[in-house]
Structure formats: structure tokens, C-alpha cells
């Protein structure tokens, strides 16, 4: 990929000092790089413990039914089978699917195994056996008798009065939470003042994160009744908490471990059914048990994005001012609530912003259906909302005879505007992104000149914009924690509870500690992924690891540095204020001859008996937003209906780039997923039976490396956050949001058709073209 990375640093850092960083802002070699490229990195799936058994889940082939009889006796009789769990022999504890107190409206709606199934593919029993093969054979011997219940597979049907209730808990009417309402100003007055009203309905598909590492865990109990659980999870401490609650254990009797992960993208924030089953199978058999999803199960038992239906109406003045915005968003949560409350709240409130509007009236619903479970997925409700918003702004521009980039720039949120969180925004991030991208692609008073048609090919340009919070505040109050220890040889160790999903976050954290302590990057190591050792962490999500845990690490390192410099001051006989430290050497300002290495400072010396220096940092962020504008050129083949993205110029503003290559990797990965969502990816369930139709990588089409267009990434540091480390904000979720509307707007520019639902497949393109030119 020819990504050209341009970190356009402001000359001044956040404290107004010259930004003269030794480690931060440099693409140091990632700590996990060699282990990963050589295959040495140990993932949970690589674990093999002595005497380990293999667990498998029996999954329902009906979408909604009561289990009237379940008989495991034939399975138990199979040689090699050590245990079978059904609803009859697991604890009946109602729990959250998402261990997230993200919204007060969350309802506990899941049992480990219930007497009822609510979607096709839900686990109804589990087996532990000496091999995976025997476990799979045993599944076929479990007899289940179902009494079918009426099922609903779309949100309209689920909302109808008299629709079959999917849960006995919650607010009723198949709602996951009471409707989310956001009202500001007066929309009736706003529409009355409008010269143009645009109204439309938008839909989004059901993409799944399709992380490379299927869900996997290993559970082991020791003789004292302590559970150790290795699990590929973004939220080790939440897994610990909910396992302890459901199993009735104190927290120090549950230890959750996770080293390397092959992605999570939000979905691995949930506590999954197999994690409970694995712990219980291990307890029953007194043996370690591993449960690893197949790719098919990763679809069935995993989490997708919430398919969403959005009705959106906006009023505009002739000059492009937005006078009113009214919307109703209906998110399909599938069979359980999971992250529905958080996704619906974040998605609905996101429509208050991006493009300024004083009069808004928004309603967000999250609805139970008998579809697969939707959960957290990168972009968290906002992908859906901004798909509708950005497409409609583009349409309004056309109808007003204005250039879409000019209209977006005119209405772009700016410094001091109220953000979706209710906080005033810091800096002109969005305007900067739009302006910088326009300059880059030559978008002046109008779009860049189109390439002339070439045979069946038509070309076009589009722009999509987004903003996203670098934390989940105020939905949840998060806290980042870090412990930094100095070692007696002058090296340092960072202890963090933040998971490493594969983003390079631990490298960024080590850079921050090295920068702050004046050490080389190589002198800082990171200990993570063990809930018995590292400080508590809320989990790696919401684009917040570098921003929030990075700030905590910075604070911890500052404490260590202060103690270390005090010792150095005694050795050098100079006041602390005059000391500088860089590359592991402490010097006296203006007198470089007087120096001592950090290693020497940390050696036991007369009067300083111990090398023990520890710092502890905690940081509770308020809301901070990152911004992006994606500029896209597409080619549409009018004969095949194929859309090809020819080039992408993503311009992102996120305060401070800690590691340019890792950050641009995040951006490219988000664009890859976004192209997939928009053009090819959709997890399809049969609308009559709820049966999963394409649970494999053969039928679920993601763009591959070969399919990716050239991406010219531009990273701006124009609106640093006063709370983030060196001004840094989040970049994890942002890159997936703006690419979809950018592509759809470019397709309209190419062939004059507005697609309001994704994925925009070749069939839909051909159908639309046939309607235009019958
Ligand atoms: S979808 Mo994110 O991991 O909050």
C-alpha cells in the first residue's frame, strides 16, 4: 500500500514549549513486531495445558423456540466425553451480555443456557471431551426437542403491537431500552424558516468485524478453587468481574489473562456464552478446558454491527444554513441487548453534531428481534447515523446548487460548539480536515475534474466527514491507570491493564513513558494482560487507550522522574530544576560536562539503599473528539455494476501523532473495513427463518490487500486535547466512519444515482441504472 504519511506537527506542543520529542512522534519498531512476523507470539489458541480437554457448543437450528426436552445421555456415553452442560445443570443467573454499565438503561437479559432460544445459532448445550473431534461427535448425540415460537426478523415487525415478546425483562414492546430522545431548540420553527426541506430513509447492512483470531478461551481451576481464564478479550477486568459475579467468587479467585490478540474491533468487549461454559466445563471435569470458535461460529456466536433504519429530515436556507434536523433511528439489536443501549445513545446523540444545527429533535430506538446478536463494533452507532447525515447533506448541496464540500465546510462544527457529549468542542478539527483535503485533491469551488468516461466506466469524486469521541464519557465514566517502576539498571517497566488488540497501543504507551523519563524506547518494557498483576482497567475500547491510559502512563512516569531527578540532583549537586534527561543521561542545563546516567542514579549508593521507585498514574477523561474528512474517487462500471474505489485521501485530526506508522495503519484498516461495509460485506440471515446464510469467508466478502486502492493519509495535529498525552486524542474508531458516505457520494457523482442503503452491490447498481435508462 502506498500510504504516504504526513504528520503535520504544529511547531508548539500543548504546553507552549517547542515540540522537541525524542521518542514520541517517531515510528519506533513495535515491540510485538518480531514475535508476530516470526509466528512466535503466543495467542490463546496456541495454549496447550497438560490434560487439557476441548469444549464445543451445540447451536440451535431454530430462531425462536422453547426447549421442551434435552437429553445428553447418549453424548455422555460416548468414550472420551467428560461432561455435558445443558440448562438443567448450569447456574441460572441472569446477567448482562455486555458487562458494560455504559447506560443506566442496560437490562440483564442473558442466562448462561436458557430454556428458550432466541436466534438461529444460539448455544443450547456444551460438551468437554478429550479431543475436538469427539466433542463434535458428542454434539450430534444430544437430543433437543423444540417447541417453536413465533419469530420476528425485522424491527418493524418486532415493534408492532401484539408482536411476539422476545424477552420478559426490559421496558417491554421488544425495546432494549426506553427510547433515546434528544431535543434542542425548536424544529417546527426551524422547518418553517427553511427554503428547502430534504427527507429520506437510509439503511445500513449487517457487517461483522471478522477479526482474524476467532474467539477462544482456556479455563483452569486450581485445588483451592481459583479460576484462571485465558481469553481473547478487550475487557479482561470486566470478564473477571462478571465471571466472579455469576460463579459467586471473590475477585481475587478469578484471574484473567490475555497476551496477544488477533483483533477485536469492539465485539470482544462482550462476555460471551462460551466463556461461562468453558469455566463451568473445567470445574465439572477438574481439567483445563479450551473452547475455540470455528470461523462459522465466529459469525454465529460473535457480534455484528447493528443494522439500522434511519428516517432523516432537514431544513436548509438558500445559503446552506441548516435550520432544523429531525430523525428517528431504529437499531436492530438481535436476540440480546449487548451494547444496544450504548450504541443507540451514542449514535442518536451524534446527530446533534458534525454539521451544526440549533434545532434538533432525535429519537433512537433499539429493538430485540430473533436475529444474531449485534454488539459493539468500531464506529459504535455513529457509522449508521453519519451515513444518513452525510448523504443527505450531499443531496441538499445538489438541490441548493452549492458545492458539497463548501456546504460541509460552512456547517462544520467548530471550536466552542456543543458536542454530542454536551461539552464544548476544542479546536477547529473538522474544518482543518476538509480544507487540507480539498487542497490535496484539488477541490476548489467544485469537485476535482472528472476523468472522461472510458467505455462502460464512469468516474466521480465524493467527500464524507465524521467526528468521534476519544472516550465513552459521559455514557460511562472511564479511568485509565498505569504503574511505572524503575529498575536498578536504569530501565523501566510499565504495568497496564489495557489489552493489546493488535493496534500497537502498548508501543505507544511505552513511547510516552520513555519520552517522559528521558529514556530510550528500548529501555521501557510493558507488562500487561494479567488481572492479578496490573492495575485495574476498564477495557480497550472507545478509541481511548493511547488518549486515556497514555495520559495515566505519562502521570506515572512524571512521578518516577521527579524521584529519580532528586537522587540525580544529590549526585550532581545541582538543583532539580536545572536537570535535563535524555537518552538515559541526566545533565545539568548549560553545563553538559556535569552528567550522570540514569543507570548510575538507580544503582544503590551511599545513603540511597534501595532502587525502588514507583509511580502510579490515574486519569479520568472528559470528552474529546477527533475528526476526519475522507476524499474518494470511484469508477463505476455501468456494464457489470462493479464499483471500484480508485483512491482515498483521508485527512484525520487527532491532536498528536504518537506513532505515525501505527496510526496510519489504523486509518488504512478502517478504510478497508469501510470499503467492505459499503460495497461487499453483509452478514445475511434468511428473513423467513433467521438462518445464517453466509457464515464463512467464502461467502462473506471482505476486500483483500490486493483490492485496496492507494491511500494518501494526512494526519493533522491542529486541535490537541489539553488532557491527552502531548495533546493526543483517539484514532481507533474514526477511520471506519467517513469512508462509506464518501464512496456513496462519489458514486452519485459518477452515475447520478443516490444509494441510501449499504452495501451497494453490483446488482443494486445495475437495477438502479436500468430504472434510470429503461
Ligand atoms: S466499538 Mo469500541 O471497542 O467502543
- Tell me the pLDDT tens digit for each residue of 637-662: 999 999 999 999 999 999 999 999 99
| Strand pairing report for 360-368 and 180-184 | antiparallel
Among residues 268, 286, 278, the alpha carbon closest in space to that of 219 is found at 278
What's residue 291's pLDDT?
98
At 674 the three-state DSSP class reads: helix
pLDDT tens by residue, 14-47: 334 446 899 999 999 998 999 999 999 999 999 9
What's residue 2's pLDDT?
34
What's residue 3's pLDDT?
36
Binning pLDDT at 50, 70 and 90, where does residue 8 land? very low
Q: What is the CB neighbour count within 10 angstroms for residue 250?
A: 8
356 vs 199: CA distance, rounded Å: 17
At 462 the three-state DSSP class reads: strand
346 vs 623: CA distance, rounded Å: 12
105 alpha carbon – ligand 1 mean position (Å): 18
Does ligand 1 lie within 6 Å of residue 377's CB atom? yes
Ligand 1 atom nearest residue 264's Cα: 3
β-bridge partners, 481: 618
Least confident of 82-86, 346-350, 470-474: 470-474
pLDDT tens by residue, 625-638: 999 999 999 999 99
- Residue 135: alpha-carbon gap to chain centroid: 33
Among residues 122, 135, 137, 139, the alpha carbon closest in space to that of 67 is found at 122
Establish how many alpha carbons lie within 13 A of residue 573's alpha carbon, considering only the half-sphere containing its beta carbon: 0
Ligand 1 atom nearest residue 539's Cα: 3
Instruction: Write 641-644 long-range contacts (CB < 8 A, 24+).
Output: 641/761, 641/762, 641/763, 641/764, 641/765, 641/766, 641/769, 642/762, 642/765, 643/679, 643/743, 643/747, 643/760, 643/762, 643/765, 644/709
Q: At what angle do helices 505-517 and 550-572 cross, to 10 degrees?
A: 30
Q: Which helix (H) or strand (E) holds 54?
A: strand 53-59
Asked if 167 and 367 touch (Cβ cutoff 8 Å), the reply is no
Asked if the model's pLDDT at residue 602 lies above 60, the reply is: yes
What's residue 101's pLDDT?
54
Alpha carbon separation from 384 to 202, 346, 607, 739, 758 (Å, rounded): 9, 11, 63, 12, 10
Asked if 121 and 60 touch (Cβ cutoff 8 Å), the reply is yes
Among residues 310, 305, 275, 319, the alpha carbon closest in space to that of 293 is found at 275
Asked if 511 and 28 touch (Cβ cutoff 8 Å), the reply is yes
Asked if the model's pLDDT at residue 13 lies above 50, the reply is: no
Strands (E), 497-612: 524-528, 579-582, 585-588, 591-597
Binning pLDDT at 50, 70 and 90, where does residue 106 land? confident
Alpha carbon separation from 767 to 135, 639, 644 (Å, rounded): 47, 11, 18
pLDDT tens by residue, 756-772: 999 999 999 999 999 98
Which residues 6+ apart lie within 8 Å of 439 measured at CB?
A: none
Binning pLDDT at 50, 70 and 90, where does residue 605 land? low
Asked if 53 and 287 touch (Cβ cutoff 8 Å), the reply is yes
Binning pLDDT at 50, 70 and 90, where does residue 623 land? confident
Specify the DSSP class assigned to residue 286: T
How large is the average pLDDT for residues 520-527? 98
At 458 the three-state DSSP class reads: strand
Counting ligand 1 atoms within 8 A of each CB, the residue from 380, 470, 544, 736 with the most, and so the one to mutate, is 380
Asked if 370 and 299 touch (Cβ cutoff 8 Å), the reply is no
> 717 is written with which cell numbers?
495535529
Q: How many residues does the chain have?
A: 774
What's residue 98's pLDDT?
73
| Strand pairing report for 625-637 and 643-653 | antiparallel
pLDDT tens by residue, 226-244: 999 999 999 999 999 999 9
What's residue 19's pLDDT?
65
Alpha carbon separation from 651 to 86, 534, 667 (Å, rounded): 52, 36, 9
Asked if the model's pLDDT at residue 609 lies above 80, the reply is: no
β-bridge partners, 378: none
Ligand 1 atom nearest residue 379's Cα: 1
Asked if 653 and 628 touch (Cβ cutoff 8 Å), the reply is yes
How large is the average pLDDT for residues 393-403? 98
Which residues 6+ apart lie within 8 Å of 669 measured at CB?
A: 735
721 vs 423: CA distance, rounded Å: 13
Mean of the per-residue pLDDT values of the chain: 94
Grid cell 505507544 is found at 508
What's residue 104's pLDDT?
53
Asked if 210 and 262 touch (Cβ cutoff 8 Å), the reply is no
453 vs 458: CA distance, rounded Å: 5
> 69 is written with which cell numbers?
426436552
pLDDT tens by residue, 244-259: 999 999 999 999 999 9
630 vs 645: CA distance, rounded Å: 12
H-type alpha helices, 427-495: 429-441
35 vs 748: CA distance, rounded Å: 45
What's residue 10's pLDDT?
38
pLDDT tens by residue, 399-458: 999 999 999 999 999 999 999 999 999 999 999 999 999 999 999 999 999 999 999 999
What's residue 612's pLDDT?
82
pLDDT tens by residue, 543-578: 999 999 999 999 999 999 999 999 999 999 999 999
Q: Longest C-alpha distance within the chain, in Å? A: 92
Grid cell 512516569 is found at 557
Asked if 194 and 358 touch (Cβ cutoff 8 Å), the reply is no
87 alpha carbon – ligand 1 mean position (Å): 31
At 77 the three-state DSSP class reads: helix
685 vs 682: CA distance, rounded Å: 9
Asked if 728 and 722 touch (Cβ cutoff 8 Å), the reply is no
Asked if 618 and 481 touch (Cβ cutoff 8 Å), the reply is yes
Alpha carbon separation from 637 to 504, 640, 642, 703, 755 (Å, rounded): 38, 6, 5, 18, 15
What's residue 1's pLDDT?
31
Counting ligand 1 atoms within 8 A of each CB, the residue from 263, 346, 541, 737 with the most, and so the one to mutate, is 541
Output the residue whose Cα is nearest ligand 1's atom 4.
Answer: 542
What's residue 592's pLDDT?
87
487 vs 492: CA distance, rounded Å: 6
Does ligand 1 lie within 6 Å of residue 266's CB atom? yes
- Residue 283: alpha-carbon gap to chain centroid: 33
Does ligand 1 lie within 6 Å of residue 211's CB atom? no
Does ligand 1 lie within 6 Å of residue 541's CB atom? yes
Does ligand 1 lie within 6 Å of residue 542's CB atom? yes
pLDDT tens by residue, 273-296: 999 999 999 999 999 999 999 999
Does ligand 1 lie within 6 Å of residue 665's CB atom? no
Output the residue whose Cα is nearest ligand 1's atom 3.
Answer: 266
What's residue 330's pLDDT?
98
Counting ligand 1 atoms within 8 A of each CB, the residue from 98, 207, 235, 266 with the most, and so the one to mutate, is 266
What's residue 774's pLDDT?
76
At 103 the three-state DSSP class reads: coil
Binning pLDDT at 50, 70 and 90, where does residue 709 land? very high
What's residue 514's pLDDT?
98
β-bridge partners, 626: 468
Amino acid at each position: 500500500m502506498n500510504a504516504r504519511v504526513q504528520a503535520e506537527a504544529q511547531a508548539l506542543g500543548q504546553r507552549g514549549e517547542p515540540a522537541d520529542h525524542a521518542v514520541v512522534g517517531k515510528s519506533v519498531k513495535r515491540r510485538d513486531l518480531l514475535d508476530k512476523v516470526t509466528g512466535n507470539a503466543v495467542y490463546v489458541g496456541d495454549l496447550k495445558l497438560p490434560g487439557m480437554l476441548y469444549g464445543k457448543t451445540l447451536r440451535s437450528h431454530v430462531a425462536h423456540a422453547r426447549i421442551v426436552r434435552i437429553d445428553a445421555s447418549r453424548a455422555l456415553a460416548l468414550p472420551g466425553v467428560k461432561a455435558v452442560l445443558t440448562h438443567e445443570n448450569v447456574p441460572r443467573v441472569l446477567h448482562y451480555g455486555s458487562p458494560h454499565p455504559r447506560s443506566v438503561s442496560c437490562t440483564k437479559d442473558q442466562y448462561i443456557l436458557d430454556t428458550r432460544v432466541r436466534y438461529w445459532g444460539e448455544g443450547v448445550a456444551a460438551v468437554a471431551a478429550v479431543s475436538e473431534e469427539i466433542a463434535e461427535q458428542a454434539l450430534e448425540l444430544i437430543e433437543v426437542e423444540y417447541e417453536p415460537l413465533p419469530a420476528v426478523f425485522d424491527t418493524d415487525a418486532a415493534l408492532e403491537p401484539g408482536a411476539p415478546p422476545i424477552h420478559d425483562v426490559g421496558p417491554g414492546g421488544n425495546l432494549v431500552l426506553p427510547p433515546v430522545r434528544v431535543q434542542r431548540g425548536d424544529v417546527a420553527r426551524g422547518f418553517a424558516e427553511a427554503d428547502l426541506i430534504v427527507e429520506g430513509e437510509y439503511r445500513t447492512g449487517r457487517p461483522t468485524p471478522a477479526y482474524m483470531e476467532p474467539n477462544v478461551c482456556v479455563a483452569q481451576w486450581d485445588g483451592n478453587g481459583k479460576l484462571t481464564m485465558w481469553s481473547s478479550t478487550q475487557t479482561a477486568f470486566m470478564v473477571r468481574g462478571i465471571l466472579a459475579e455469576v460463579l459467586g467468587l471473590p475477585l481475587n479467585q478469578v484471574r484473567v489473562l490475555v497476551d496477544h490478540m488477533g483483533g477485536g474491533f469492539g465485539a470482544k468487549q462482550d462476555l460471551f456464552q462460551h466463556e461461562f461454559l468453558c469455566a463451568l466445563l473445567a470445574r465439572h471435569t477438574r481439567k483445563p478446558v479450551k473452547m475455540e470458535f470455528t470461523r462459522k461460529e465466529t459469525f454465529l456466536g460473535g457480534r455484528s454491527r447493528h443494522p439500522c433504519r434511519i428516517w432523516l429530515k432537514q431544513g436548509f436556507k438558500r445559503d446552506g444554513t441548516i435550520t432544523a434536523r429531525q430523525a428517528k433511528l431504529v437499531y436492530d439489536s438481535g436476540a440480546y441487548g449487548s451494547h444496544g443501549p450504548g450504541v443507540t445513545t451514542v449514535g442518536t446523540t451524534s446527530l446533534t453534531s458534525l454539521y451544526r444545527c440549533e434545532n434538533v429533535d432525535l429519537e433512537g430506538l433499539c429493538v430485540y428481534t430473533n436475529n444474531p446478536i449485534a454488539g459493539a463494533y468500531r464506529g459504535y452507532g455513529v457509522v449508521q447515523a453519519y451515513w444518513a447525515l452525510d448523504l443527505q447533506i450531499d443531496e441538499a448541496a445538489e438541490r441548493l446548487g452549492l458545492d458539497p464540500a463548501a456546504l460541509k465546510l460552512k456547517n462544520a462544527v467548530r471550536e466552542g460548539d456543543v458536542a454530542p457529549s454536551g461539552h464544548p468542542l476544542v479546536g477547529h478539527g473538522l474544518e482543518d480536515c476538509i480544507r487540507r483535503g480539498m487542497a490535496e485533491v484539488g477541490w476548489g469551488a467544485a469537485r476535482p475534474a472528472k476523468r472522461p468516461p472510458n467505455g462502460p466506466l464512469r468516474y466521480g469524486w465524493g467527500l464524507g466527514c465524521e467526528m468521534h469521541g476519544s472516550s465513552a464519557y459521559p455514557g460511562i465514566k472511564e479511568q485509565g491507570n498505569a504503574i511505572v517502576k524503575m529498575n536498578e539498571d536504569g530501565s523501566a517497566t510499565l504495568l497496564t491493564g489495557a489489552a493489546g488488540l493488535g493496534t500497537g497501543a502498548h508501543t505507544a504507551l511505552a513511547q510516552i513513558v520513555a519520552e517522559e523519563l528521558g529514556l530510550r524506547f528500548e529501555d521501557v518494557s510493558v507488562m500487561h494482560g494479567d488481572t492479578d498483576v496490573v492495575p485495574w482497567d476498564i477495557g480497550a475500547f472507545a478509541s481511548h487507550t493511547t488518549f486515556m491510559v497514555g495520559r495515566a502512563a505519562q502521570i506515572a512516569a512524571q512521578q518516577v522522574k521527579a524521584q529519580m531527578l532528586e537522587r540525580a540532583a544529590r549526585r550532581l549537586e545541582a538543583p532539580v530544576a536545572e536537570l535535563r534527561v535524555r537518552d538515559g543521561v541526566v545533565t545539568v542545563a548549560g553545563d553538559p560536562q556535569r552528567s550522570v546516567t540514569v543507570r548510575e542514579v538507580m544503582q544503590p549508593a551511599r545513603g540511597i539503599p534501595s532502587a525502588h521507585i514507583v509511580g502510579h498514574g490515574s486519569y479520568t477523561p472528559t470528552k474529546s473528539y477527533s475528526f476526519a474528512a475522507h476524499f474518494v474517487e470511484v469508477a463505476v462500471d455501468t456494464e457489470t455494476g462493479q464499483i471500484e474505489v480508485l483512491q482515498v485521501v483521508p485527512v484525520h485530526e487527532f491532536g498528536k501523532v504518537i506513532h505515525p506508522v501505527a496510526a496510519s495503519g489504523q486509518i488504512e484498516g478502517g478504510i478497508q473495513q469501510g470499503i467492505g461495509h459499503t460495497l461487499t460485506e453483509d452478514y445475511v440471515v434468511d428473513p423467513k427463518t433467521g438462518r445464517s446464510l453466509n457464515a464463512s469467508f467464502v461467502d462473506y466478502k471482505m476486500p483483500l490487500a490486493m483490492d485496496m486502492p492507494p491511500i494518501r493519509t494526512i494526519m493533522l495535529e491542529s486541535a490537541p486535547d489539553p488532557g491527552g498525552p502531548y495533546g493526543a486524542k483517539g484514532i481507533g474508531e474514526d477511520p471506519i466512519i467517513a469512508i462509506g458516505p464518501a464512496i456513496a457520494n462519489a458514486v452519485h457523482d459518477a452515475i447520478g444515482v443516490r444509494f441510501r442503503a449499504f452495501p451497494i452491490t453490483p446488482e443494486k447498481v445495475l437495477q438502479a441504472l436500468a430504472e434510470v435508462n429503461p
